[in-house]
Each structure stands twice: as structure tokens, then as C-alpha cells.
Amino acid sequence: MTLREAKVGQTVRVAKLSGTGAVKRRIMDMGITKGESIFVRKVAPLGDPIEITIRGYELSLRKADAEMILVE
């Protein structure tokens, strides 16, 4: 499942990052790496953006970026 499919209040673990090049590098620079726990805090009414907590800070992601993050 992808991070976009995770429900509000759910804690998931990053299994894999799909995507290539600069997009994948940008996601990794935000601290989203394999094995990290992500808590889904909020999802905007239209689904974009998604607010998460990772490594002790809040982060907002676009739906397109969240689809590249495979979680378990």
C-alpha cells in the first residue's frame, strides 16, 4: 500500500521508495527513508496535501509524492 492510502491516525513504516532521480532524492532529503515510522496526522478535504509526523517533526506532502512511498 502507498502512503496516500493510509488512514488518518494510522502509523505506518516505510517499506520502499519508488520514483527516480531528483524526486526520490527530494523525498529522502525530507527524512523519509526505508524503515522510518510515519504517523498520518491529517488529510485535506480534497486529499491534497497529507500532513504527517516523521522523526519528530510535521511535514506536508502532495498526493503525487505520497503515492511514491510504499508502506506496510
Domain residue limits, the chain: 3-71
Omega of the bond prior to 49 within 30 degrees of 0, cis? yes
CA distance 35 to 33: 6
CA 13 to chain CA centroid, Å, is: 10
CATH code, residues 3-71: 2.30.30.90
Quick one: pLDDT at residue 19?
A: 80
Nearest of 40, 53, 57 to residue 6 by alpha carbon: 40
The mean pLDDT of 34-63, rounded to a whole number, is 91
Element (H, E) at 22: helix 21-29
- 14 pLDDT above the threshold of 90: yes
Quick one: pLDDT at residue 71?
A: 92
